[in-house]
Amino acid sequence: MKNKELETQNEIQETSFLNGSLGRRSFLQYAGASAAGIALVAAGCKKDRGYNDVNMGATLDFKDDFGVLNYAYALEQLEAAFYVKVASAPPSTFTTAQKAYFQDIQFHEIAHREFFKNALGTSAIGSLEVDFSSIDFTSATSVLGAAQAFEDLGVAAYNGAGVRIKSTDYLVLAGKIVSVEARHAAYIRDLISNGSFADLTSLTALGANNAGGLDAALTPDKVLAAAGKYIKTKINVINL
C-alpha cells in the first residue's frame, strides 16, 4: 500500500509540474521554447535512433548526435526518478530549507528529462526501470551521498560527451544543462561539508583537474558502468 501511495504522490507532483507549477529556481520549461529546442524537436522526428525492447533493453547508438541525446535522456531519467522519490518523502531530519531545495532540484531534473523526451520524439528510448535498493531514503546521510554521486556523475557525463556533439545548437543546450547540474552538485556538496562547494580534489577520479580549475569529465562507457547499479533496464551501446 505504501508503494502505491508513493506512486500516487509522484504522479501528482509530476502532473503539477507539467501543468506549469515549477519551483522558484526552475530552469527549463516543459515545452523547451528556444531555437535549439525547436531544431531538436524537428530533428527528433527521424526514426530508429534509439529504442527500448522488452527483451533487448535500451539501445544507445552513438553514431550521431541522437545517440548522445538519448544518452543524456537516460541519465536525466535516473536523476529525475531519484529526486521525485526524495521530494515525495524526504528524510525526517531534513530542514525546511533542504526540503524546499530538493523540491526545486526535482523540478529541474523533471524538466531536463521531459525536454529530451519531447524533443527526441519517436527517436527516444523508452522509460528505464531504476533500482534504488542501495539507498536508504529515510537517512539524510544516505540521500545526500547518493545525490552527490548522481550530480557529480551527471556533470562528468555531460562534459565527457561534449566532444561527441556535432551540432553547435545541441552543444549550447548541453552547456546550459550541465551548468545547472554543477549548481546542484555544489549545493549538495556544501550540505555534506560546509564550504566544500568548489572542491575539485575529491573529483580527480572522475577526471577533474584541481590545479587547472577544470571540472570532471568521463566517457559514456565509464559513466554507464557507474550508473549501472541504479538501472535495471539493460543498456546496449553501439558505435561508441
Average pLDDT, the chain: 80
Taking the C-alpha atoms of residue 145 and residue 215, their distance in angstroms, rounded to an integer, is: 19
Note the pLDDT of residue 144: 97
Note the pLDDT of residue 212: 75
Taking the C-alpha atoms of residue 175 and residue 163, their distance in angstroms, rounded to an integer, is: 12
Distance of CA 215 to the CA centre of its chain: 17
Q: For 121-147, what is the mean pLDDT?
A: 97
Residue 43, CB-side half-sphere exposure with 13 Å CA sphere:
17
Going by DSSP bridges, is the β-strand pair 235-238/57-61 parallel, antiparallel, or unpaired? parallel
pLDDT above 80 (res 104): yes
Sign of CA dihedral 10, 16, 17, 19: positive
Note the pLDDT of residue 105: 96
3-state secondary structure of 130: strand
* H-type alpha helices, the chain: 2-18, 35-43, 65-88, 96-120, 140-161, 168-192, 220-227
pTM over 0.75: yes
pLDDT above 80 (res 26): no
Domains of the chain: 53-122+133-238 (1.20.1260)
pLDDT above 80 (res 52): no
pLDDT above 70 (res 77): yes
C-alpha cell recorded at residue 127:
522509460
CB 113 within 8 A of CB 76: yes
Taking the C-alpha atoms of residue 161 and residue 94, their distance in angstroms, rounded to an integer, is: 34
Residues in the chain: 240
Note the pLDDT of residue 31: 34
C-alpha cell recorded at residue 70:
538519448
* Cβ-based neighbours of 213, under 8 Å, separated by 6 or more: 200
Q: For 93-117, what is the mean pLDDT?
A: 96
Q: For 136-153, what is the mean pLDDT?
A: 96
Note the pLDDT of residue 100: 96
Percent of the chain surpassing pLDDT 90:
64
The more confidently predicted of residues 201 and 3 is: 201
Residue 151, burial from CB neighbour count under 10 angstroms (0-12, 13-18, 19+): buried
Backbone angles phi, psi at 195, to 5 degrees: 90, 0
3-state secondary structure of 61: strand
3-state secondary structure of 214: strand
